[in-house]
Amino acid sequence: AQTVTQSQPEMSVQEAETVTLSCTYDTSESDYYLFWYKQPPSRQMILVIRQEAYKQQNATENRFSVNFQKAAKSFSLKISDSQLGDAAMYFCASFLIQGAQKLVFGQGTRLTINP
Amino acid sequence: DTGVSQDPRHKITKRGQNVTFRCDPISEHNRLYWYRQTLGQGPEFLTYFQNEAQLEKSRLLSDRFSAERPKGSFSTLEIQRTEQGDSAMYLCASSSQTGSEQFFGPGTRLTVL
Three-state secondary structure string covering chain A = CCEEECCCCEEEEECCCCEEECCEEECCCCCEEEEEEEECCCCCCEEEEEEECCCCCCCEECCEEEEEECCCCEEEEEECCCCHHHCEEEEEEEEECCCCCCEEECCCEEEEEEC
pLDDT at A46: 94
| Average pLDDT, rounded, for chain A | 94
pLDDT at A29: 87
**More confident call, A89 vs A98:** A89
Best mutation site among B91, B102, B103 for testing chain A: the one with the most A CBs within 10 Å? Answer: B102
pLDDT at B107: 96
Residue from the list A45, A101, A104 with its beta carbon closest to the beta carbon of B56: A101
Residue B6: what residue type? Q
A30-57 residue pLDDT tens: 889 999 999 998 778 999 999 999 998 9
pLDDT at A89: 96
* CB contacts, 8 Å: B100 with chain A: 33, 50, 95, 97
* CB contacts, 8 Å: A50 with chain B: 100-101
pLDDT at B99: 63
Interface of B with A in 44-83 (CB under 8 A): 44-45, 48, 55-56, 58
Smallest CA–CA distance, residue B39 to chain A, in Å, is: 10
pLDDT at B74: 96
- Mean pLDDT split into 10-residue runs, chain B, 113 residues: 90 98 94 94 94 90 93 94 96 85 95 97
pLDDT at B1: 54
pLDDT at B60: 83
Does A104 score more than 70 pLDDT? yes
Name the CA radius of gyration of chain A, rounded.
14
Mark yes or no for CB contact B45/A104 under 8 Å: yes
* CB contacts, 8 Å: A4 with chain B: 42
pLDDT at B2: 77
